[in-house]
Structure 1
Amino acid sequence: MYMTLRAQDGHVFDAYVAGEETARSGIVVIQEIFGVNSHIRDVADFFAAQGYRVIAPALFDRVQAKVELGYTQKDIQKGLELRSEISQEQVLQDIAAAAQALDKQSSVGVVGYCWGGTLAWLAACKIPAVKAASCWYGGGLAQVAHEQTTVPVQMHFGELDKSIPASDIELIRKAQPDVEMFVYAGVDHGFGCDQRGSYDKAATELARLRTISFFAKHL
């Protein structure tokens, strides 16, 4: 199911919604650079099945509506182009609108993947409605590791991820010693997406278990 949201600056955009309206807590699922595609909808449905009300905002709607990309090199290039046309301030307004739409829930967390992993961290730092964040292989996290938050955060990384090398993970760890951090041995970037060649079932299941336990504790 989809709903329409309005950001603080008046931008109107779509969001995928799953889970019961009466759920105690809510989760905002933050997309990769591939839009709210079938993978992100599957992720939203997974968290809904755990008892959450879930909203996945279509962050590319500011540039192009109904973007659903795959994982080819051409798709990656298109996703990077779309991302470059949206400012951090704009995208955080859209995430804030999604969090505010979960006003029937007692608390709201965010979980994000790739681009969304970094945005989940920024949401924890800058959006008061966000009470906990789980960040999966957030590209660019090292560049914003100096930001500060007062809410619980966990992060998940792949040991073989060339876009987030061990030096970046160590930088983040030093900047944010209170963040719960997991590095999964022998897996690459995007290990949590079953549509990618880098998918790793065991690592995904463990990271999901840790994420669910984390949200159960903090939401």
Structure 2
Amino acid sequence: MSVTTQWIEIDSPEGKFGAYLAIPHTQKGPGIVLIQEIFGVNEHIRSVVEQYAADGYLVIAPDLFWRSGPRIELSYDEAGWKKAVELMNATDVGKAQDDIKLTIEALKAQPGLDGGIASIGYCFGGMLSYNTAANGLVDVAVSYYGGGIQNQLDRADQIDVPFLMHFGEADSHIPLEAVEQIAERFDSNDNVEIVVYPEAEHGFNCSHRDSYNQRAAAEAHGNTLIFLGQEL
């Protein structure tokens, strides 16, 4: 299935920022705001945007590092990691959430939007997807190995939309104790589902990383599509 892709510009009070938009072959479908890792809207993130567009969704990924420089793309080598951490630490999370809100508004303005909107975030973006759901901006939310969610459980009661979290059992950045803490906090919330993938490391969905786990990535993608199909 062919998809149409382009960079668009979104207006904000501080200036314009870019967002990578993919439209499915049908030209219509539900929406997804896809939230980057700390490596920018790089080749991997763009490929994931296109993957979900091929699945029939209108997908948009905002460039959340634009205040440090437009369309920064980093690789997963040592230099890329160092720069990515610097950019993450320099990012105002509140302003990033404002950018996501504006991106959702831009997605709502797309003529082909037909249905609700989900947020799907990876790593740093997984935490932002959690906050996007808590802010009531989307109809459903998905988080892949969302770093720091365990430190924001004071917002748990604000999650009142269907929310799917993916974690790797062997994640060296998010210990299982943190996942268990999150699971315990959401135990009574039937809207929240948590899946832990055996032997999967942090970044298991990213085929550009050494930590890529094909089986976990395939299962998580399938679980996400079923979840979106049921809830969106």
Q: Normalized against structure 1, the TM-score is what?
A: 0.95
Q: Deviations over 1:130-188 (max 9, x none)?
A: 11111000111111122121111010011111211011001111112222001100110
- The counterpart of 2:140, out of the listed 124, 132, 135, is 132
| Match of residue 159 from structure 1 | 169
What one-letter code is carried by the residue in structure 2 that aligns with 1:168?
A: A
4+ residue segments displaced more than 2 Å: none
- The counterpart of 1:117, out of the listed 123, 126, 136, is 126
The 2-side partners of 1:93 and 1:52 are apart by 23
| Match of residue 18 from structure 1 | 22
| Match of residue 47 from structure 1 | 52
The runs of 5 or more residues in structure 1 that have no matched partner are none
The 1-side partners of 2:197 and 2:166 are apart by 8
Deviation at 1:129, TM superposition (A): 3.2
Q: Would you say the 8 A contact 1:192–1:203 is kept in 2?
A: yes
Q: Would you say the 8 A contact 1:146–1:175 is kept in 2?
A: no
Deviation at 1:49, TM superposition (A): 0.4
The 1-side partners of 2:175 and 2:125 are apart by 18
- The counterpart of 1:144, out of the listed 138, 152, 157, is 152
Deviation at 1:22, TM superposition (A): 4.2
What is the DSSP-based 3-state SS (H/G/I as helix, E as strand, rest coil) of the residue aligned with 1:62?
A: coil
The 2-side partners of 1:175 and 1:10 are apart by 37
Deviation at 1:76, TM superposition (A): 1.1
Report which stretch shifted further, 74-83 or 190-199. Answer: 74-83
The 1-side partners of 2:65 and 2:46 are apart by 15
The 2-side partners of 1:68 and 1:88 are apart by 19
The 2-side partners of 1:27 and 1:170 are apart by 28
Deviation at 1:87, TM superposition (A): 1.2
Percent identity over paired residues: 38
The runs of 5 or more residues in structure 2 that have no matched partner are 1-5
- The counterpart of 2:116, out of the listed 107, 120, 139, is 107
Deviation at 1:10, TM superposition (A): 3.8
1:1-219 counterparts in 2 under 5 A? Answer: 1-7=6-12, 9-20=13-24, 22-103=27-108, 104=110, 105=113, 106-126=115-135, 128-147=136-155, 148-177=158-187, 178=189, 179-219=192-232
The 2-side partners of 1:40 and 1:187 are apart by 19
The 2-side partners of 1:22 and 1:160 are apart by 39
The 1-side partners of 2:101 and 2:118 are apart by 11
Q: CA RMSD in A?
A: 1.3
The 2-side partners of 1:161 and 1:4 are apart by 35
The 2-side partners of 1:76 and 1:51 are apart by 32
Deviation at 1:73, TM superposition (A): 1.9
What one-letter code is carried by the residue in structure 1 that aligns with 2:124?
A: W
The 1-side partners of 2:89 and 2:220 are apart by 29
